[in-house]
Structure 1
């Protein structure tokens, strides 16, 4: 019988990643509530990433001062572009899209992201695709299915799912042209934001190879993103001083929670889980945050669930798991190929008389090449 300590050790990654999904769900709920209370979405992005910079930068300075590479102009250019893609563009589009739709809708739509990352990586030739292999077919099909699910969520409303705790009297149930237009605008904004996030992930994977100090890279992305988001916010809201004011309510809680919990605690959890379980493990739990958001927002925000949108969300999740299954199969094939090559390498070593430089000196530490948290 296995000892309790051993069981706890095995359970830690699962507990950690579930906690991370609750943190993500909390960010969505609190942000949507603050937006409903009048917090400007562009200002929220600026405050969120300013706070994230203040939180992450000291840890990066202390823990990575001995391993942090020199910042070159080439690397800095990539960092600035990363700050533009994710904090400045993606988050502005995401929060604006959330303002036009609901917290559950926005949370469900973001599950398309892994499929779009695969597509962008394929275009950038960072992802090998062989249409004859089942794993590649699964990733392509999963991407198509996820996009199809997003279209269903946008186009199909269906009957209301009557939950006992939801106050339906707070909502207008009619499908007016204005409501449909807001839904379409919100959907397009979240979709375009997901595309920017996908490009961000591909560029981030390239950047981390030449600048493998993850905390420092996160701090730089948050800082440059906050600066560029400030330019957008001043362009959109500079003539409205009231838009920048915060009060002791959700308008202050939203940027504090997003900056500290989503970009601080959640990043730490993500990094720890990736070391032991890899990036795919965390992604398989991402639909959990959508379920949490759907349940909590139905009574905390009095959001109404529609059957058509639940079906669309289920289709998106199906596409997500097809993509993740394809990634797992790819990793298994890569591991098998590596094991097959190992005996050949040993034979070459045996017949070579010259002293050989150790693999430790020449090898690349793949463990250092990991993506920074999705929620930078």
Structure 2
């Protein structure tokens, strides 16, 4: 019974890890939107975020992976440079810009196209199993389409305002949070979509890099360090002549930089890497829609954003699609167990047979020795 419980917990660990990851991302979206509303530069936020992550992660990488860290090669270093450009620089800057033009809920809803993009790219690169006649493969495809459809419903269909939690907004709050015009929505959508493509490429490349550089903490430290340098260059160019944007005080701006750096860069890159080695890149990104549901629930309390009926319907569709994908992917990891069991049993039988052979040979030697002794006594 204890073995079964332990095995069940091992199977559930990847699910628990990615769900907690989405809660971490939801907190980042809320804090980042609050900091951007107070005038913080998105470029500066990206730089501080990865600087904090590097400072926190590098001691663990140096100590814990001292003996397992592979030798750095030019090929690996170029992959690290590409990773740091794709996610810390391109994806995050475009994501925060898109959020600045829209709302936190809108940005997270648009980012839900990431699982579909990652799914297609992984399928093209033959990193994802698809058998059209298999019910589980059909569930993965339908579930992925459902998550994207739910995101589109949340984005395009508003419907009536729902005052589920009895929160009343002032006219100023309604104008600030609800007044996202069509031009800003389109501009923000394009930025976030491009960021999704960049993030999908980052996820795939991270899985490929871990095959030759299987040190998750060190990989995270390198991405954060290079992301800080490259993001700093972008920030200096975009915010030239504005030295005041680099100043921080004890407010939401500092909290957003520290929280997003520790939780959403340091811990997130590491957890993604660990889970990805066993479950693949599509599994990690499949849970992204859950973040939108969490943000949609938290935003009315923290950012005073409005809840629309369309967003609630979209959230339900996303959850159903997420369930289908998880159920479909569960079949990908059920098959290895019998193989391992079959491999263990012959090995055990071989050991037992070897022991029996040793025992029989020992008896033969003992008998021959006894016979020799008997002949000596007769002589």
The answer, yes or no, to whether TM exceeds 0.5 is: yes
- For 1:322, the equivalent position in structure 2 comes to 324
Deviation at 1:155, TM superposition (A): 2.1
Deviation at 1:227, TM superposition (A): 1.7
Q: Which has the higher helix share?
A: 2
1:162-181 superposed Cα distances (whole Å, 9 cap, x missing partner): 241241522139998x7112
Is the CA contact (8 Å cut-off) linking 2:204 and 2:281 kept in structure 1? no
1:34-113 to structure 2, matched below 5 A, reads 34-113=35-114
1:216-255 to structure 2, matched below 5 A, reads 216-255=218-257
Deviation at 1:245, TM superposition (A): 2.0
| Whole-Å separation in 2 of the counterparts to 1:272 and 1:206 | 13
Query: Secondary structure of the equivalent of 1:172?
Result: helix
Aligned counterpart in structure 1 of residue 304 of structure 2, from 299, 302, 310: 302
Deviation at 1:77, TM superposition (A): 0.5
- For 1:150, the equivalent position in structure 2 comes to 151
Query: Secondary structure of the equivalent of 1:248?
Result: coil
1:198-213 to structure 2, matched below 5 A, reads 198-213=200-215
- For 2:122, the equivalent position in structure 1 comes to 121
Superposition RMSD on alpha carbons, in Å? 3.7
| Whole-Å separation in 2 of the counterparts to 1:292 and 1:142 | 19
Q: Which stretch of structure 1 is more off in the superposition, 68-77 or 93-102?
A: 93-102
Q: Which stretch of structure 1 is more off in the superposition, 267-276 or 49-58?
A: 267-276
Deviation at 1:140, TM superposition (A): 2.2
1:307-340 superposed Cα distances (whole Å, 9 cap, x missing partner): 122323333333333322221122224556x469
Q: TM-score by structure 1 length?
A: 0.78
Distance 1:288 1:146, change over 3 A: closer
Q: Which stretch of structure 1 is more off in the superposition, 225-234 or 212-221?
A: 225-234
1:173-217 superposed Cα distances (whole Å, 9 cap, x missing partner): 9998x7112122222222222221111111111100100011000
Q: Which stretch of structure 1 is more off in the superposition, 182-191 or 48-57?
A: 182-191
| Whole-Å separation in 2 of the counterparts to 1:174 and 1:29 | 13
| Whole-Å separation in 2 of the counterparts to 1:162 and 1:217 | 45
Q: Matched residue pairs, number? A: 342
- For 1:256, the equivalent position in structure 2 comes to 258
| Whole-Å separation in 2 of the counterparts to 1:129 and 1:276 | 18
1:5-34 superposed Cα distances (whole Å, 9 cap, x missing partner): 99xx89x95887665444332211111100
1:277-329 superposed Cα distances (whole Å, 9 cap, x missing partner): 99898778655543332232202111011112232333333333332222112
Where structure 1 has 5 or more consecutive residues not aligned to the other structure, the ranges are 351-376
Distance 1:290 1:308, change over 3 A: same
Query: Secondary structure of the equivalent of 2:68?
Result: coil
Is the CA contact (8 Å cut-off) linking 1:146 and 1:316 kept in structure 2? yes
Q: Which stretch of structure 1 is more off in the superposition, 317-326 or 124-133?
A: 317-326
Where structure 2 has 5 or more consecutive residues not aligned to the other structure, the ranges are 352-379
Deviation at 1:139, TM superposition (A): 2.2
- For 2:133, the equivalent position in structure 1 comes to 132
Is the CA contact (8 Å cut-off) linking 1:108 and 1:316 kept in structure 2? no
- For 2:376, the equivalent position in structure 1 comes to none
Aligned counterpart in structure 2 of residue 172 of structure 1, from 175, 178, 182: 175
Which structure has the bigger radius of gyration? Answer: 2
Distance 1:174 1:99, change over 3 A: closer
Is the CA contact (8 Å cut-off) linking 2:220 and 2:266 kept in structure 1? no
| Whole-Å separation in 1 of the counterparts to 2:336 and 2:236 | 48
1:123-153 superposed Cα distances (whole Å, 9 cap, x missing partner): 2222232222222222222232233233323
| Whole-Å separation in 2 of the counterparts to 1:67 and 1:344 | 31
Q: Which stretch of structure 1 is more off in the superposition, 79-88 or 277-286?
A: 277-286
Is the CA contact (8 Å cut-off) linking 1:45 and 1:229 kept in structure 2? yes
| Whole-Å separation in 2 of the counterparts to 1:48 and 1:227 | 12
Q: 1:187 and 2:189 equivalent?
A: yes
Deviation at 1:341, TM superposition (A): 7.8
